[in-house]
Amino acid sequence: MHIRPSAPTMHDHHHDHRHTHAGEDTSRRLVLALLLTLAFAAVEAIAGLHAASLALIGDAGHMLTDSLALGIAAMAAVLARRAPTARHSYGFARSKTLAAFANALFMLLLIGLLLWQSIARLSDPRAVDADTVTLVAVIGLVINLVVAFMLSGHGHDLNTRAALLHVIGDLLGSIAALASGILIKLTGWMPIDALLAMLIAGLIAASTLNLLRTAMHTLMNGVPSSLSLPEVGRNLAGVAGVADIHDLHIWELDERHIALSAHVSVRDMGDWPGVLERLQARCAKAFGITHTTFQPEPAPARPLRFVPSPGAPNRKPPDGDDRASA
């Protein structure tokens, strides 16, 4: 929602929202992945019960919960395309980050459950139908490879990354079930079923924690990892006509949109329109930031030197003062 004043005010905003069909394509891929995963989860559960395989039963439960995760991701992708409203002026793009955060927590719960079941099975090994396990694992491997390929082209989207993480967990689970079936067929050693399940849980846990940390950083309005707040502050303080930059904040609206706000001490308030244009151009060209808000202020008689620290003025000394290089 854009509100344009009839005369210049002390706040100047620059927005650039690009709408493409990428969101719709992501939603379709997530829905198709959901249907494939849900269908195979039913097949795998029946086969796991028949074969008495913890690897298959666990993977079936994992795929069933992954179906829920994919459903959450698909709904978030649809919601994120809604236009901003008077109550949600930033729109709903961050719903994808919320979905990613929820799915990461859900994944940690599944990992804990799988580890608990595996430890219990190690203390009480059971006979496993290796032929059924191997056959179903091959089918699951193919389906998970197809689903992973469908989602892998959208790795920049945190929501899709969370969904893909669940699918990769299923893919590794299918590999574990396949290895379990083959090894049991060749050696008859039943504990391998539970040991492989524990190995997969450990591998998935590292990626899940990383995703959880990334989602939390975005939800807490952290500075994007690709940017340095002091570096941006020093760069903007060097724009012609700027005396200093302070109260600088940078955060992500979602993976594609970064926002910036700052107070700008201007040497000549009459030159503010030109200074604003130069600041916007610098943000876009140097950092790819197109959603900016700058508040101009008259420069003090002697601006402080640039201090690159959050919460303190980020300032550049006046022309001729060489203390900034000290």
Q: Is residue 29, in this structure, part of any structural domain at all?
A: yes
List pLDDT tens digits, range 275-325: 999 999 999 999 999 999 999 999 887 655 444 445 444 445 444 443 333
Between 63 and 143, the higher pLDDT residue: 143
Written as one string, the DSSP assignment of 55-71 is HHHHHHHHHHHHHHHHH
* Amino acid 16: pLDDT: 42
Q: Is residue 33, in this structure, part of any structural domain at all?
A: yes
Q: In CATH, what number is assigned to the domain containing residue 268?
A: 3.30.70.1350
Between 207 and 146, the higher pLDDT residue: 146
Between 137 and 56, the higher pLDDT residue: 137
Phi, psi of 295 (to 5 degrees): -110, 115
Between 34 and 60, the higher pLDDT residue: 34
Q: Is residue 2, in this structure, part of any structural domain at all?
A: no
* Amino acid 28: pLDDT: 82
Instruction: Tell me the C-alpha distance between 28 and 275, whole Å.
Output: 44
Q: In CATH, what number is assigned to the domain containing residue 129?
A: 1.20.1510.10
Q: Considering its fold, how many domains does the chain have in total?
A: 2
Pair 238, 282 in one domain: yes
The domain boundary, picked from 219, 250, 282, lies at: 219
Predicted confidence band of residue 216 (pLDDT cuts 50, 70, 90): very high
Q: Is residue 296, in this structure, part of any structural domain at all?
A: yes
pTM of the model: 0.69
* Amino acid 23: pLDDT: 59
Nearest to 201 by CA among 177, 172, 158: 172
Instruction: Tell me the C-alpha distance between 82 and 93, whole Å.
Output: 8
Q: What is the mean pLDDT of residues 35-48?
A: 82
Pair 204, 275 in one domain: no
Pair 286, 174 in one domain: no
Pair 194, 267 in one domain: no
Q: What is the mean pLDDT of residues 42-46?
A: 81
Pair 233, 109 in one domain: no
Q: Is residue 160, in this structure, part of any structural domain at all?
A: yes
List pLDDT tens digits, range 110-133: 888 888 888 888 887 777 777 877
Pair 41, 118 in one domain: yes
28 token code pair: 């379709």
Residue type, 311: G
pLDDT higher than threshold 90 for residue 189: no
Pair 133, 258 in one domain: no
Predicted confidence band of residue 58 (pLDDT cuts 50, 70, 90): low
Pair 247, 202 in one domain: no
First-last CA distance in the chain: 46
Q: Is residue 8, in this structure, part of any structural domain at all?
A: no
Full domain range(s) for residue 43: 21-219
Q: Is residue 274, in this structure, part of any structural domain at all?
A: yes
Cα of 312 vs its chain's centroid, Å: 30
Q: Is residue 14, in this structure, part of any structural domain at all?
A: no
List pLDDT tens digits, range 3-26: 333 334 344 444 444 444 555 677
* Amino acid 5: pLDDT: 37
